[in-house]
Structure 1
Amino acid sequence: MQSINGEEQLVIGGDLNGHVGSALDGYPRNHGGQGYGTRNDEGNRALDFAEAHDLVLANTFFKKRPSHLITYASGGRSTQIDYWLVKRDKLKTVTNTKVIPSDNIAPQHRILVMDIKMDIGQRHRPPTTGQQRIKWWRMKECKDQLRVAFNQIDVNTNRPANAIWEDLAGQLCTAATEALGLTKPGKHFIDKQIWWWNEEVQLAVKEKKLAFKKWRQTLTDLDYQHYRNCKSAAKRVVAAVKLAQYDQLYVELDTPEDVDPFRYCCQSGDNRLCSLYHQRRPINRCTYYRPPFFAFLIGDPHVTTLDNAAYTFNGLGEYTVLEAFGENITFTMQARTAIAGVIGVSKATSFVAIVAQENGSAKVEWILKNNITIILVDGDVANITDSRVYFNKTSVWRSENSSITASFPSGISVNVTASYGALNFITMLPESFINMTQGLLGVFNKDPTDDFRAANGTVLPFNGTDVPSESRIYYEFGVTWQITANTSLFSYNTSDGESWHTYNNNTFVPLFYEDLINQTSPERLAFVNASCGGQKDCIFDVLSTNDTNFGMATKNSAGDFGSQGQALQNFPPNITTGGRLFTSLNQTVSVQINAKDPNNDTIVFSMATNSSGLTVTPDGNLTWSPRSSKPAFDVVSASDGKASSALLLNLTLCNCSAHSTCLYNQTTLSMNSSDGSSFQVAGCLCDPGYAGAYCTDDYNACVDSPCHPGVTCTDQPAPSLGFSCGPCPVGLTGNRQQVFR
């Protein structure tokens, strides 16, 4: 079993003469819990065998009626003793198992069948270039030749249009072929779209190829030396360019410039890039993790600032929600409001459009239309799916709940959801923008008392607990952030007469919460309060719009965003134990994995491994008991139920004999898994008298022929390093190593 390659498909079937029963007690990885009868000792031995080799009994994983489980029936007794065994990681290839009661191959035994999908593989054919075609990509470098060729085209126009077009197309292709050349079909395809490839490398490689062709034609020493010089120069250029790109990558991995570094580094096929990614953003530790800071706006505009101050602002028009400034960074987000409710006559408003842009990147707009979010990118409608789409350094994608998120190069992201007549959105900022923001989301400095800073710099007094009245917030803070026609980022449909003036009504005065409460009867207020469960924003929206559905949508959004905020503020556990383990074959090593949770949540440990010899308890007791020299890989996870961190194990196995010392720092084999964990085999320092890779061989002291030629050499058994020489040849004397006449 141990000699079978891990990539091979292993299938074992037959009469194991044991009852594994219907319960999976003690063998959750090997028994599917869908067996028959009661387990006996022979069944335990079968399950022990399966556990030792990480196999599963496939016909215990499919729920069947008893007649499709019983494999042996005699004398009124029915049992299940025939099984199919496959490797656990191949269980997904098994689609069905069952007994066919009517087709007996013996008086008592019944046929047990299994349906399995097996990839027989196909011979890999290296990709080749397609059919012959014109090298249109050379148009820029050959524009002069192409211009001359096109000027020589002469088309007779005194013919039908189809004939003129066919003649013109034919002459264009002929001229382009002469000027640009044709590709050679059927050649091995070489993809040169390498992440570090640039024009400098291309020119150096091209010069080397031209020099090689010339040398092959002339075969002179001078041309050969020129080719060697070009080849060396190309190598130097490639090395310099790659080094510069790696240096730039080091910088980008320490900044939010790259919106998806893992995809570029660890899915590029370049192991060095992936190692660099894990070096700069190690998965083993969460010590330096800092959650993003967030603010959200929902319903009949209820705002929670970046410093967690909550207020309501019912302005009608377009306003600056957030302006963020950093080193060479300017981010602006603006929002548009409209009369809230389906009737459109209430004295309250809701968000119906949002626009955000960072300098040097795309402008993204979210427009509410019939409770559906329309996305504009740089003024044009964009179709957004669940896959990230990149627009000039900005990525946009749709989530499962139909919310649409835009992530900007600075690390700022905006997530927008349409909900019953309003756009609700949550904005997340990195900690680097502290003291760098202004607008309706306040001054981000972890101090809510100065969040109500007007556009002119004056601050509405706030003690951090008792929010100012809505009327003061409206007049002294909110309306000061109304944008102008010159500062607006919104796209207007000018063909329909739409402009900034269409959406900005300076005569509108909202109905404030205090007035709503005073104008509402106690009975109505009690009913609304019960419907909203006491949630203030919901109560306000129901009273201001006279629409219970609108208020409930606000309540649900507040709950969803609150949950998102709690999840964002949760720190994952920080694993403080190192990930290196080493032991010898058939020995056991244990280590306690320790982790700290900044939120004091309960930590539970688990693991993902390919070895049955590796286990971890929920409280972090890790044990490694290797029973074979098969490479083992393992990732230990520490979870607080909301977030997790991982410890990539570095396992070193010693397979040396008892006549040696393990050299754990001098490995003879090293392997890396795709998950980042690694496995090594330790070197062996042999005791005197022993040799071989694992010190299992007796050192042969006669290997260097220490005896005189013609004299027999006999090696002495280990641990001796000695040898003995046979008698001297006839007529000669000596010590058998040196012989004299």
Structure 2
Amino acid sequence: MTEWSQPMPLGWLLRHYWRREFGQNRWQQNFCQKWFEREDQNEYFATTLFRCPCTLAQALHDKGRFAPDERCNVVDKKCDQRHLGAQHCVRSARPSIGGSGQQCCYDDYGELIRSADTMYSGRPSRTFVYGKHPFKMQMQTPTLSYWQHDVMPFYYCCKWAPKEDDSETCMMFNYFRTTQDCSSYQPPAIASVFGDPHIITFDRVNYTFNGRGEYSLVHTNNPIHKLDIHGRFERLPGHVNATQLTAVSVRDNVSSIVEFRIRPDGCRWFNQIFIIADKEYLYYWDDNMRTIHTRGVSIYQPSGIRNMSHLIAMFDSGAGVEVLVNGGGTLTLHVYLPLTYMNSTQGLLGYYSNDPNDDFMLPNGWVIANLHDKNIKQIHEEFGIKYRLLEIAQANISQSLFFHDVLTHSQYDDVKFIPQFDMDPQQLEHMDDVDR
């Protein structure tokens, strides 16, 4: 079955029949009571969800766990029907382990709207709006399961009830769909690669690394998480011995291997980035298409972007990878990791521990003390090149995840490359252009 349009509530069409069947103003109560009894027999799902961010600013910066609602957001502004008074809502980017979802809405002051204040708040949902693999099971069908178990009960318990917010049926609805507070919310750690390339670790240590080839940015392998994020650095055009980030490849647990590769200069007139998932090229083939779903990952193109120059990959673990094409034609990368990744990461983006002194951890677990006080050459030789990727697996580094369909790994890899650690003013001016 294929659904070509958005679902819509048909109470206005069928209410006359329902009034004859159940009585005036009793048909809503009848449907709500049956839904309440079914919910009472089902498992409690809300404990498996990510908690809502406390403010809109936090929600907008948590790009691994939350994505803008497809209707109620600051761009589309279609909030009146189910979230009256909200300026922006976000949804959990991926379904929980049981296939549920989270929704959080914020008012004009950027504060979380709660169901205790209004029926138009965000709320957890028993089913995820985009379904859950393998999709052919009960409560896992995209859109339709969500409407049956979460949206329609809101209409006949609250919106269509005679007293709406103050009705007994709306209180019944809120019993199972109460907005969760943000008391246990923890913002993600963020690390970045941009420009020259400059690197900012999860613990906010800044340094520059000009390796050439493929390198491990993040490696985690423990009983909870298995995450690898790899970066490809290629030489800048011209005769400058410096590099730039041109591709990123990611795998989270058993997810698809997702690769973001910047297009060549002559091919960026339409789309800016190639998306490759498990060696298959993916595209946004419709202007209204915002999200691509593949195994264990959702790839989101923000509203207003039509040329694939800004993409966000969101994984089941809550990890997020954001890539952007800047004015100089290089990739900018932001990585978002939830608190559960603390004390488990290695790679060029550092050891995430909230302690900047142990960020430069080598693959063997040794920490190079005070390396951030050393010069670029020392950081390059003593730390950066230790995370060089090969085509075979290495302990605490993994093996290259990139799809080598055009050039081989050895054609990108340059062991003998020595960057120019000291540059004259003219070369530095060129590097400023790349950073911008």
TM-score (norm 1): 0.35
**Residue type matched to 2:410 in 1?**
H
- Equivalent position amino acid for 2:414 in 1: N
Residue 507 (str. 1) matches residue 419 (str. 2): no
Report whether the alignment pairs 1:358 with 2:241: no
Q: Which amino acid aligns with 1:268?
A: V
Contact 1:413 1:427 in 2 (8 A): yes
Quote the Cα distance in structure 1 between the aligned partners of 2:374 and 2:173: 52
Cα distance change of structure 1 residues 122 and 312 upon mapping to structure 2, 3 Å threshold: closer
The separation in 2 between residues aligned to 1:239 and 1:275, in whole angstroms, is 10
Structure number with the bigger relative contact order (C-alpha 8 A, sep ≥ 6) is 2
1:250 to 25, 35, 46: 46
Amino acid at match of 2:46: Y
Are the equivalent residues in 1 in contact too, given 2:39–2:176 (CA < 8 A)? Answer: no
Q: What do the CA deviations read for 1:563-607 (whole angstroms, capped 9, x no partner)?
A: xxxxxxxxxxxxxxxxxxxxxxxxxxxxxxxxxxxxxxxxxxxxx
Please, which of 424, 448, 454 is the counterpart of residue 356 of structure 2?
A: 448
Q: Which residue is equivalent to 2:381? A: 475
Question: 2:205 corresponds to which residue?
Answer: 309
Report matched runs for 1:41-80 at 5 Å. Answer: none
CA distance in 1, matches of 2:419, 2:41: 59
Q: 1:157-203, CA deviations, whole angstroms, 9 ceiling, x for partnerless residues?
A: xxxxxxxxxxxxxxxxxxxxxxxxxxxxxxxxxxxxxxxxxxxxxxx
Q: Does 1:435 align with 2:343?
A: yes
Q: Deviations over 1:119-140 (max 9, x none)?
A: xx998379xxxxxxxxxxxxxx
Letter in 1 for 2:48: E
8 A Cα contact 1:326 1:433, kept in partner:
no
Higher strand share: 1
Q: What runs of 5+ residues in structure 2 fail to find an aligned partner? A: 1-9, 16-34, 52-64, 66-93, 104-127, 130-145, 158-171, 393-398
Q: In the TM superposition, what whole-angstrom CA distance separates every residue of 1:669-720 from its partner, at most 9, and x where no partner exists?
A: xxxxxxxxxxxxxxxxxxxxxxxxxxxxxxxxxxxxxxxxxxxxxxxxxxxx
Instruction: Name the residue aligned to 2:215.
Output: 319
Q: What's the offset of the Cα at 1:270?
A: 3.6
Q: Percent identity?
A: 25
Relative to 1, partners in 2 of residues 1:123 and 1:510: Cα closer, same or farther, differing over 3 Å?
closer
Question: Offset at 1:368?
Answer: 0.8
Deviations 1:83-107 (A, max 9, x none): xxxxxxxxxxxxxxxxxxxxxxxxx
Task: Give the counterpart letter for 2:377 in structure 1.
Answer: S
Alignment length (residue pairs): 285
SS state at 1:269 partner: helix
Alpha-carbon distance between aligned partners in 2 of 1:379 and 1:440, rounded to the nearest angstrom: 25
**Preserved contact between residue 252 and residue 258 of structure 1 (Cα < 8 Å):** no
How far does residue 328 in structure 1 lie from its aligned partner after superposition? Answer: 3.3
Q: Which amino acid aligns with 2:299?
A: V
CA offset digits 1:141-160 (Å, max 9, x no partner): xxxxxxxxxxxxxxxxxxxx
* Structure-2 residue corresponding to 1:382: 282
Written as runs of structure 1 = structure 2, the 5 A alignment for 1:234-383 is: 246-247=43-44, 249-253=45-49, 258=95, 260-262=101-103, 264=129, 268-271=151-154, 275=174, 279=178, 281-282=179-180, 285-325=181-221, 327-340=223-236, 342-343=237-238, 345-369=239-263, 370=265, 372-383=272-283
* Aligned-partner Cα distance in 2 for 1:373–1:274: 44
Report 1:217-232 matches (<5 A): none
Which amino acid counterpart does residue 261 of structure 1 have in structure 2?
Q
The equivalent residue for 1:491 is 403
Shift of residue 467 of structure 1? 2.8
Offset from partner CA, 1:202-240 (integer Å, 9 cap, x none) = xxxxxxxxxxxxxxxxxxxxxxxxxxxxxxxxxxxx999
After TM superposition, where is structure 1 displaced by more than 6 Å over at least 4 residues in a row? 238-244
Report the counterpart of residue 297 of structure 2 in structure 1: 394
The Cα of 1:324 is off from its aligned counterpart by 2.7
Contact 1:311 1:467 in 2 (8 A): no
**2: CA distance, partners of 1:337 / 1:406:** 20
- Which letter maps to 1:346? V
Q: Deviations over 1:428-447 (max 9, x none)?
A: 11112110111101110000
Structure 1 unaligned blocks of 5 or more: 1-120, 127-237, 529-541, 556-741
For the residue of structure 2 that corresponds to 1:287, the secondary structure is coil
> How far is the alpha carbon of 1:317 from its aligned partner?
0.5
2:183 maps to a residue whose letter is: T
Query: In structure 2, how many angstroms separate the alpha carbons of the residues matched to 1:448 and 1:243?
Result: 49
Normalising to structure 2: TM-score of the pair? 0.59
Between 408-417 and 256-265, the greater mean CA deviation after superposition: 256-265
Partner AA of 2:296 in structure 1: K
Q: In 2, are the aligned partners of 1:450 and 1:461 still within 8 Å (CA)?
A: yes
Aligned partners of 1:391 and 1:346: how far apart in 2?
A: 39
Q: What SS does the aligned partner of 2:234 have?
A: strand
Residue 403 of structure 1 deviates from its aligned partner by: 0.8
Equivalent-residue separation in structure 2 for 1:245 and 1:479 (angstroms): 53
Alignment correspondent of 1:581: none
- What amino acid is the match of 1:395? S
Matched AA of 2:151 = S
Describe the shift of the 1:125–1:488 C-alpha distance in structure 2 as closer, same or farther (beyond 3 A): same
User: Which residue is 2:5 aligned to?
Assistant: none
Structure 1 residues 510 and 244: alpha-carbon distance in aligned structure 2, compared to 1, 3 A threshold: farther
Q: Secondary structure at the match of 1:436?
A: coil
Contact 1:314 1:348 in 2 (8 A): yes
Per the alignment, residue 124 of structure 1 pairs with 13
What displacement does 1:491 show? Answer: 0.8
In the alignment, the residues of structure 1 paired with residue 321 and residue 223 of structure 2 have an alpha-carbon distance, to the nearest angstrom, of 20
Partners in 2 of 1:365 and 1:261 — Cα distance? 27
CA displacement at 1:269 relative to structure 2: 2.5
